[in-house]
Protein backbone atom coordinates (compact mmCIF):
# COMPACT_ATOMS: atom_id res chain seq x y z
CA UNK A 1 0.00 0.00 0.00
CA UNK A 2 1.44 3.36 -0.99
CA UNK A 3 1.67 6.26 1.44
CA UNK A 4 -1.25 8.64 1.69
CA UNK A 5 -0.59 11.82 -0.24
CA UNK A 6 -1.13 14.98 1.78
CA UNK A 7 0.16 16.79 -1.30
CA UNK A 8 -2.74 15.50 -3.39
CA UNK A 9 -5.17 16.83 -0.78
CA UNK A 10 -3.63 20.29 -0.83
CA UNK A 11 -2.80 20.60 -4.54
CA UNK A 12 -6.00 19.16 -6.06
CA UNK A 13 -6.79 21.25 -9.19
CA UNK A 14 -4.71 24.18 -7.90
CA UNK A 15 -3.76 26.50 -10.77
CA UNK A 16 -6.01 24.85 -13.37
CA UNK A 17 -8.17 27.90 -14.10
CA UNK A 18 -7.51 28.80 -17.74
CA UNK A 19 -9.61 31.98 -17.78
CA UNK A 20 -8.04 34.15 -15.09
CA UNK A 21 -5.32 32.04 -13.48
CA UNK A 22 -7.13 31.68 -10.15
CA UNK A 23 -5.12 29.55 -7.70
CA UNK A 24 -8.25 27.80 -6.37
CA UNK A 25 -10.49 26.38 -9.11
CA UNK A 26 -13.65 28.46 -9.55
CA UNK A 27 -17.10 27.41 -8.38
CA UNK A 28 -19.46 26.56 -11.26
CA UNK A 29 -23.00 27.11 -10.00
CA UNK A 30 -24.68 27.05 -13.40
CA UNK A 31 -27.60 24.66 -13.77
CA UNK A 32 -27.00 24.18 -17.48
CA UNK A 33 -24.38 24.72 -20.18
CA UNK A 34 -24.74 25.85 -23.79
CA UNK A 35 -24.30 23.59 -26.79
CA UNK A 36 -21.83 24.68 -29.44
CA UNK A 37 -24.55 24.06 -31.97
CA UNK A 38 -27.35 21.64 -32.83
CA UNK A 39 -26.13 18.15 -32.03
CA UNK A 40 -22.78 19.54 -30.87
CA UNK A 41 -22.68 19.00 -27.12
CA UNK A 42 -19.90 20.32 -24.94
CA UNK A 43 -18.38 18.27 -22.07
CA UNK A 44 -21.19 19.47 -19.77
CA UNK A 45 -24.83 20.11 -20.52
CA UNK A 46 -26.77 19.81 -17.23
CA UNK A 47 -25.41 19.88 -13.69
CA UNK A 48 -27.30 16.81 -12.50
CA UNK A 49 -25.37 14.85 -15.14
CA UNK A 50 -22.04 16.56 -14.75
CA UNK A 51 -20.47 19.66 -13.24
CA UNK A 52 -16.84 20.87 -13.30
CA UNK A 53 -16.69 21.64 -9.57
CA UNK A 54 -18.21 18.31 -8.57
CA UNK A 55 -15.94 16.45 -10.97
CA UNK A 56 -12.83 17.99 -9.39
CA UNK A 57 -13.91 16.65 -6.01
CA UNK A 58 -14.71 13.22 -7.46
CA UNK A 59 -11.35 13.02 -9.24
CA UNK A 60 -9.55 14.02 -6.05
CA UNK A 61 -11.34 11.38 -3.95
CA UNK A 62 -10.63 8.71 -6.57
CA UNK A 63 -6.94 9.58 -6.51
CA UNK A 64 -6.81 9.57 -2.70
CA UNK A 65 -8.52 6.16 -2.52
CA UNK A 66 -6.43 4.85 -5.45
CA UNK A 67 -9.55 4.12 -7.49
CA UNK A 68 -10.56 4.64 -11.10
CA UNK A 69 -13.44 7.07 -10.64
CA UNK A 70 -15.99 8.41 -8.18
CA UNK A 71 -19.49 9.75 -7.94
CA UNK A 72 -20.24 12.60 -5.55
CA UNK A 73 -23.73 12.46 -4.07
CA UNK A 74 -26.04 14.69 -2.06
CA UNK A 75 -25.56 12.64 1.15
CA UNK A 76 -23.98 9.51 2.51
CA UNK A 77 -27.36 7.79 2.29
CA UNK A 78 -27.60 8.80 -1.37
CA UNK A 79 -24.22 7.14 -1.90
CA UNK A 80 -25.55 3.92 -0.36
CA UNK A 81 -28.68 4.19 -2.51
CA UNK A 82 -26.53 4.31 -5.64
CA UNK A 83 -24.49 1.39 -4.36
CA UNK A 84 -27.42 -0.99 -3.88
CA UNK A 85 -28.56 -0.31 -7.45
CA UNK A 86 -25.46 -2.15 -8.68
CA UNK A 87 -27.04 -5.49 -7.73
CA UNK A 88 -30.23 -7.13 -8.97
CA UNK A 89 -33.25 -7.30 -6.67
CA UNK A 90 -33.02 -11.09 -6.41
CA UNK A 91 -29.37 -11.00 -5.32
CA UNK A 92 -28.46 -11.04 -1.65
CA UNK A 93 -26.74 -8.15 0.13
CA UNK A 94 -24.69 -9.12 3.18
CA UNK A 95 -24.53 -6.22 5.65
CA UNK A 96 -23.02 -5.90 9.13
CA UNK A 97 -25.40 -6.49 12.01
CA UNK A 98 -23.95 -3.48 13.83
CA UNK A 99 -24.00 -1.02 10.92
CA UNK A 100 -24.97 2.65 11.09
CA UNK A 101 -28.64 3.09 11.95
CA UNK A 102 -29.43 4.91 8.70
CA UNK A 103 -27.89 2.09 6.69
CA UNK A 104 -29.91 -0.45 8.67
CA UNK A 105 -33.10 1.55 8.06
CA UNK A 106 -32.51 1.83 4.29
CA UNK A 107 -31.63 -1.82 3.75
CA UNK A 108 -34.44 -3.05 5.98
CA UNK A 109 -37.00 -0.92 4.10
CA UNK A 110 -35.75 -2.12 0.71
CA UNK A 111 -35.90 -5.71 1.93
CA UNK A 112 -39.50 -5.33 3.15
CA UNK A 113 -40.54 -3.88 -0.21
CA UNK A 114 -38.84 -6.66 -2.13
CA UNK A 115 -36.47 -4.22 -3.80
CA UNK A 116 -33.44 -5.94 -2.26
CA UNK A 117 -32.61 -9.12 -0.37
CA UNK A 118 -30.62 -8.32 2.76
CA UNK A 119 -29.02 -10.46 5.44
CA UNK A 120 -27.50 -8.78 8.49
CA UNK A 121 -24.79 -10.84 10.15
CA UNK A 122 -21.69 -10.64 12.30
CA UNK A 123 -19.00 -10.33 9.66
CA UNK A 124 -16.36 -11.19 12.22
CA UNK A 125 -17.86 -14.68 12.48
CA UNK A 126 -15.99 -16.27 9.58
CA UNK A 127 -18.01 -19.50 9.59
CA UNK A 128 -21.35 -17.67 9.48
CA UNK A 129 -20.01 -15.36 6.80
CA UNK A 130 -18.80 -18.23 4.59
CA UNK A 131 -22.10 -20.10 5.10
CA UNK A 132 -24.08 -17.10 3.87
CA UNK A 133 -22.63 -17.69 0.39
CA UNK A 134 -23.54 -21.38 0.20
CA UNK A 135 -26.39 -22.20 2.59
CA UNK A 136 -29.20 -20.51 0.64
CA UNK A 137 -30.48 -20.44 -2.91
CA UNK A 138 -29.86 -16.71 -3.35
CA UNK A 139 -26.65 -15.54 -4.96
CA UNK A 140 -24.72 -12.96 -2.96
CA UNK A 141 -24.30 -9.90 -5.15
CA UNK A 142 -22.88 -7.38 -2.70
CA UNK A 143 -21.10 -7.40 0.64
CA UNK A 144 -21.15 -4.14 2.56
CA UNK A 145 -18.52 -3.75 5.26
CA UNK A 146 -18.04 -1.12 7.93
CA UNK A 147 -14.60 -1.25 9.47
CA UNK A 148 -14.33 0.13 12.05
CA UNK A 149 -18.06 -0.27 12.55
CA UNK A 150 -20.45 2.40 13.80
CA UNK A 151 -20.70 2.68 16.79
CA UNK A 152 -18.83 -0.30 18.32
CA UNK A 153 -15.67 0.04 16.21
CA UNK A 154 -15.44 -3.64 15.35
CA UNK A 155 -12.67 -4.34 12.84
CA UNK A 156 -12.99 -6.92 10.07
CA UNK A 157 -10.35 -8.26 7.71
CA UNK A 158 -10.91 -6.55 4.35
CA UNK A 159 -8.41 -8.71 2.46
CA UNK A 160 -9.90 -11.96 3.80
CA UNK A 161 -13.47 -10.91 2.98
CA UNK A 162 -12.32 -9.75 -0.44
CA UNK A 163 -10.91 -13.21 -1.18
CA UNK A 164 -14.25 -14.82 -0.29
CA UNK A 165 -16.15 -12.33 -2.44
CA UNK A 166 -13.91 -13.00 -5.43
CA UNK A 167 -14.44 -16.75 -5.12
CA UNK A 168 -18.21 -16.28 -5.24
CA UNK A 169 -18.39 -13.42 -7.74
CA UNK A 170 -19.73 -10.83 -5.28
CA UNK A 171 -18.86 -7.15 -5.10
CA UNK A 172 -17.22 -5.87 -1.93
CA UNK A 173 -17.97 -2.33 -0.77
CA UNK A 174 -16.32 -0.83 2.31
CA UNK A 175 -17.69 2.15 4.21
CA UNK A 176 -14.53 4.11 4.98
CA UNK A 177 -16.23 7.09 6.64
CA UNK A 178 -14.69 6.53 10.09
CA UNK A 179 -11.08 6.60 8.85
CA UNK A 180 -10.99 8.41 5.48
CA UNK A 181 -8.31 7.57 2.90
CA UNK A 182 -5.77 9.22 5.19
CA UNK A 183 -5.91 6.17 7.48
CA UNK A 184 -7.30 3.33 5.34
CA UNK A 185 -7.58 2.58 1.62
CA UNK A 186 -9.82 -0.45 1.12
CA UNK A 187 -9.34 -0.67 -2.66
CA UNK A 188 -5.68 -1.54 -2.13
CA UNK A 189 -6.82 -4.38 0.16
CA UNK A 190 -9.12 -5.95 -2.42
CA UNK A 191 -12.38 -4.02 -2.15
CA UNK A 192 -14.27 -3.10 -5.33
CA UNK A 193 -15.96 0.03 -3.99
CA UNK A 194 -15.49 2.53 -1.17
CA UNK A 195 -18.36 4.49 0.33
CA UNK A 196 -18.11 7.76 2.24
CA UNK A 197 -20.32 10.16 4.03
CA UNK A 198 -18.23 13.15 2.96
CA UNK A 199 -20.13 15.08 5.63
CA UNK A 200 -17.66 13.62 8.14
CA UNK A 201 -13.85 13.71 8.02
CA UNK A 202 -13.50 14.56 4.33
CA UNK A 203 -15.33 17.85 4.76
CA UNK A 204 -14.45 18.10 8.43
CA UNK A 205 -16.30 21.29 9.37
CA UNK A 206 -19.91 20.19 9.96
CA UNK A 207 -21.28 22.55 7.32
CA UNK A 208 -21.89 20.25 4.33
CA UNK A 209 -23.97 17.10 3.85
CA UNK A 210 -22.62 14.86 1.11
CA UNK A 211 -21.49 11.41 0.06
CA UNK A 212 -19.31 9.58 -2.44
CA UNK A 213 -18.67 6.16 -3.91
CA UNK A 214 -15.25 5.40 -5.36
CA UNK A 215 -14.92 2.53 -7.85
CA UNK A 216 -11.90 0.38 -8.51
CA UNK A 217 -12.64 -0.18 -12.21
CA UNK A 218 -13.84 1.85 -15.18
CA UNK A 219 -16.83 -0.46 -15.63
CA UNK A 220 -18.07 0.05 -12.05
CA UNK A 221 -17.41 3.77 -12.30
CA UNK A 222 -19.53 4.02 -15.46
CA UNK A 223 -22.39 2.10 -13.88
CA UNK A 224 -22.33 4.30 -10.77
CA UNK A 225 -22.28 7.46 -12.88
CA UNK A 226 -25.32 6.25 -14.83
CA UNK A 227 -27.28 5.48 -11.67
CA UNK A 228 -26.35 8.74 -9.94
CA UNK A 229 -27.65 10.71 -12.91
CA UNK A 230 -30.72 8.49 -13.34
CA UNK A 231 -31.70 8.72 -9.67
CA UNK A 232 -30.91 12.43 -9.46
CA UNK A 233 -28.76 12.10 -6.34
CA UNK A 234 -25.62 13.93 -7.44
CA UNK A 235 -24.18 16.54 -5.08
CA UNK A 236 -24.59 20.28 -5.45
CA UNK A 237 -21.63 22.30 -6.84
CA UNK A 238 -21.37 24.57 -3.78
CA UNK A 239 -21.33 21.57 -1.45
CA UNK A 240 -18.60 20.03 -3.59
CA UNK A 241 -16.61 23.27 -3.45
CA UNK A 242 -16.79 23.35 0.36
CA UNK A 243 -15.95 19.66 0.66
CA UNK A 244 -12.87 20.07 -1.51
CA UNK A 245 -11.82 22.96 0.74
CA UNK A 246 -12.12 20.58 3.69
CA UNK A 247 -10.14 17.85 1.94
CA UNK A 248 -7.20 20.24 1.58
CA UNK A 249 -6.63 20.11 5.37
CA UNK A 250 -7.53 16.43 5.90
CA UNK A 251 -3.99 15.22 6.53
CA UNK A 252 -3.29 17.88 9.15
CA UNK A 253 -6.66 17.49 10.87
CA UNK A 254 -6.63 13.70 11.10
CA UNK A 255 -3.37 13.72 13.05
CA UNK A 256 -4.86 15.98 15.72
CA UNK A 257 -8.08 13.94 15.88
CA UNK A 258 -6.05 10.80 16.46
CA UNK A 259 -3.67 12.28 19.03
CA UNK A 260 -6.57 13.56 21.09
CA UNK A 261 -8.50 10.30 20.75
CA UNK A 262 -5.56 8.24 22.02
CA UNK A 263 -5.34 10.40 25.15
CA UNK A 264 -9.10 10.28 25.82
CA UNK A 265 -9.25 6.51 25.21
CA UNK A 266 -6.52 5.94 27.78
CA UNK A 267 -8.38 8.05 30.34
CA UNK A 268 -11.59 6.12 29.72
CA UNK A 269 -9.86 2.76 30.05
CA UNK A 270 -8.37 3.75 33.42
CA UNK A 271 -11.46 5.29 35.03
CA UNK A 272 -13.65 3.25 37.43
CA UNK A 273 -16.87 4.77 36.03
CA UNK A 274 -16.31 3.07 32.66
CA UNK A 275 -17.35 -0.53 32.10
CA UNK A 276 -15.90 -0.97 28.60
CA UNK A 277 -14.04 1.06 25.96
CA UNK A 278 -14.29 0.49 22.22
CA UNK A 279 -11.24 1.95 20.48
CA UNK A 280 -8.97 -0.10 18.17
CA UNK A 281 -5.98 1.98 19.21
CA UNK A 282 -5.99 0.32 22.63
CA UNK A 283 -3.96 -2.90 22.84
CA UNK A 284 -6.88 -4.43 24.76
CA UNK A 285 -9.23 -4.05 21.78
CA UNK A 286 -9.83 -7.44 20.11
CA UNK A 287 -9.25 -5.92 16.67
CA UNK A 288 -6.10 -4.02 17.59
CA UNK A 289 -3.62 -6.23 15.71
CA UNK A 290 -5.81 -6.39 12.61
CA UNK A 291 -6.33 -2.63 12.69
CA UNK A 292 -2.57 -2.11 12.85
CA UNK A 293 -2.10 -4.31 9.81
CA UNK A 294 -4.69 -2.73 7.48
CA UNK A 295 -4.96 0.84 8.79
CA UNK A 296 -2.46 3.67 8.99
CA UNK A 297 -3.97 4.92 12.24
CA UNK A 298 -6.88 4.40 14.60
CA UNK A 299 -9.00 7.48 13.98
CA UNK A 300 -10.87 9.86 16.24
CA UNK A 301 -14.01 7.90 17.23
CA UNK A 302 -14.35 6.24 20.64
CA UNK A 303 -17.35 4.46 22.11
CA UNK A 304 -17.65 3.42 25.72
CA UNK A 305 -20.12 2.01 28.22
CA UNK A 306 -20.70 3.54 31.61
CA UNK A 307 -21.42 1.31 34.58
CA UNK A 308 -24.28 3.35 36.06
CA UNK A 309 -27.08 2.93 33.52
CA UNK A 310 -29.16 5.78 32.12
CA UNK A 311 -28.65 7.81 35.29
CA UNK A 312 -24.93 7.63 34.62
CA UNK A 313 -25.43 8.76 31.02
CA UNK A 314 -27.25 11.85 32.24
CA UNK A 315 -24.62 12.54 34.88
CA UNK A 316 -21.87 12.35 32.27
CA UNK A 317 -23.61 14.53 29.69
CA UNK A 318 -24.79 17.27 32.02
CA UNK A 319 -21.95 19.70 32.52
CA UNK A 320 -19.81 18.90 29.46
CA UNK A 321 -18.30 22.04 27.94
CA UNK A 322 -16.04 20.71 25.16
CA UNK A 323 -18.45 18.11 23.78
CA UNK A 324 -21.75 18.99 22.11
CA UNK A 325 -24.60 16.47 22.29
CA UNK A 326 -25.27 15.96 18.58
CA UNK A 327 -25.31 13.37 15.84
CA UNK A 328 -22.69 13.14 13.08
CA UNK A 329 -18.93 12.99 13.55
CA UNK A 330 -15.61 13.91 12.00
CA UNK A 331 -15.83 17.68 12.42
CA UNK A 332 -13.16 19.81 14.05
CA UNK A 333 -15.42 20.17 17.12
CA UNK A 334 -15.89 17.34 19.63
CA UNK A 335 -19.30 15.68 19.80
CA UNK A 336 -20.98 13.10 22.02
CA UNK A 337 -23.89 10.91 20.90
CA UNK A 338 -26.14 8.36 22.59
CA UNK A 339 -26.49 5.75 19.83
CA UNK A 340 -29.53 3.96 21.27
CA UNK A 341 -31.67 7.10 21.15
CA UNK A 342 -29.91 9.05 18.40
CA UNK A 343 -27.90 7.56 15.52
CA UNK A 344 -29.38 4.06 15.88
CA UNK A 345 -32.87 4.94 17.10
CA UNK A 346 -34.37 3.53 13.89
CA UNK A 347 -33.20 0.05 14.88
CA UNK A 348 -35.67 -2.02 16.88
CA UNK A 349 -34.66 -2.89 20.44
CA UNK A 350 -33.97 -6.48 19.41
CA UNK A 351 -31.66 -5.36 16.59
CA UNK A 352 -29.86 -2.98 18.94
CA UNK A 353 -29.35 -5.81 21.41
CA UNK A 354 -27.95 -8.12 18.69
CA UNK A 355 -25.55 -5.38 17.62
CA UNK A 356 -24.43 -4.75 21.20
CA UNK A 357 -25.85 -1.24 21.45
CA UNK A 358 -26.82 -0.74 25.09
CA UNK A 359 -28.59 2.17 26.84
CA UNK A 360 -25.34 3.05 28.64
CA UNK A 361 -23.28 3.28 25.42
CA UNK A 362 -21.92 6.67 24.35
CA UNK A 363 -19.96 7.58 21.22
CA UNK A 364 -17.38 10.36 21.15
CA UNK A 365 -16.22 12.13 18.02
CA UNK A 366 -12.95 13.62 19.19
CA UNK A 367 -12.21 17.03 17.72
CA UNK A 368 -9.03 19.06 17.45
CA UNK A 369 -9.42 21.18 20.58
CA UNK A 370 -6.56 21.35 23.09
CA UNK A 371 -5.93 17.88 24.48
CA UNK A 372 -5.84 19.07 28.09
CA UNK A 373 -9.27 20.68 27.76
CA UNK A 374 -10.82 17.51 26.38
CA UNK A 375 -9.20 15.38 29.07
CA UNK A 376 -10.42 17.70 31.81
CA UNK A 377 -13.97 17.73 30.45
CA UNK A 378 -14.18 13.94 30.13
CA UNK A 379 -12.61 13.35 33.54
CA UNK A 380 -15.08 15.66 35.26
CA UNK A 381 -17.95 13.89 33.51
CA UNK A 382 -16.68 10.48 34.60
CA UNK A 383 -16.18 11.74 38.13
CA UNK A 384 -19.84 12.77 38.17
CA UNK A 385 -20.80 9.24 37.17
CA UNK A 386 -18.53 7.74 39.81
CA UNK A 387 -20.03 9.99 42.49
CA UNK A 388 -23.49 8.85 41.42
CA UNK A 389 -22.47 5.21 41.88
CA UNK A 390 -21.51 6.01 45.46
CA UNK A 391 -25.09 6.99 46.26
CA UNK A 392 -27.52 4.51 47.84
CA UNK A 393 -29.09 2.15 45.30
CA UNK A 394 -32.57 3.56 45.89
CA UNK A 395 -31.37 7.05 44.94
CA UNK A 396 -29.81 5.78 41.71
CA UNK A 397 -32.96 3.87 40.80
CA UNK A 398 -35.10 6.98 41.26
CA UNK A 399 -32.81 8.96 38.97
CA UNK A 400 -32.85 6.16 36.39
CA UNK A 401 -36.65 6.11 36.32
CA UNK A 402 -36.72 9.85 35.69
CA UNK A 403 -33.90 9.79 33.12
CA UNK A 404 -35.47 8.11 30.12
CA UNK A 405 -34.86 8.65 26.41
Q: Which residue in 100, 201, 278, 279 is the catalytic one?
A: 100
Q: Which residue in 55, 98, 157, 175 is the catalytic one?
A: 175
DSSP string, 147-193: SS-TTT-----HHHHHHHHHHHT-EEEEE-TTT-TTT--GGGGT-SE
Q: Which residue in 54, 117, 200, 384 is the catalytic one?
A: 200
User: Which residues neighbour 177 within 8 Å (Cβ) at sequence distance 6 or greater?
Assistant: 76, 150, 195, 196, 197, 200, 201, 330
Q: Does the active-site annotation cover 201?
A: no
Query: How far, in Å, CA of 258 to CA of 111, rounded?
Result: 37
Q: Does the active-site annotation cover 100?
A: yes
Q: How many CA atoms, within 13 angstroms, populate the side-chain half-sphere of residue 149? A: 28
What count of residues does the chain have? 405
CB 101 within 8 A of CB 344: yes
Give φ, ψ of 65 to 5 degrees: -90, 0
Query: How far, in Å, CA of 241 to CA of 378, rounded?
Result: 35
CB 89 within 8 A of CB 75: no
CB 90 within 8 A of CB 117: yes
Catalytic sites, residue numbers:
48, 100, 175, 200
Amino acid sequence: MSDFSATTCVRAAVGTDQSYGAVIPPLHLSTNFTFKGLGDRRKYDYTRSGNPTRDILGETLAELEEGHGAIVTSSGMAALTALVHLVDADQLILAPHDCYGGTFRLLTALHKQGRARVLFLDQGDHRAFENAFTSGSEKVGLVLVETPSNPLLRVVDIAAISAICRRHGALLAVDNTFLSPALQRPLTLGADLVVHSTTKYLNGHSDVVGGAVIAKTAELSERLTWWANCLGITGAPFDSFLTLRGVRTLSARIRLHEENAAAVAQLLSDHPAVAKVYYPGLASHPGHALARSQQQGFGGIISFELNAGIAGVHAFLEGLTCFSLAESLGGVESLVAHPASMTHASMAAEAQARAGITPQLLRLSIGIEATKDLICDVRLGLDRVHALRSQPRSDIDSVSRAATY
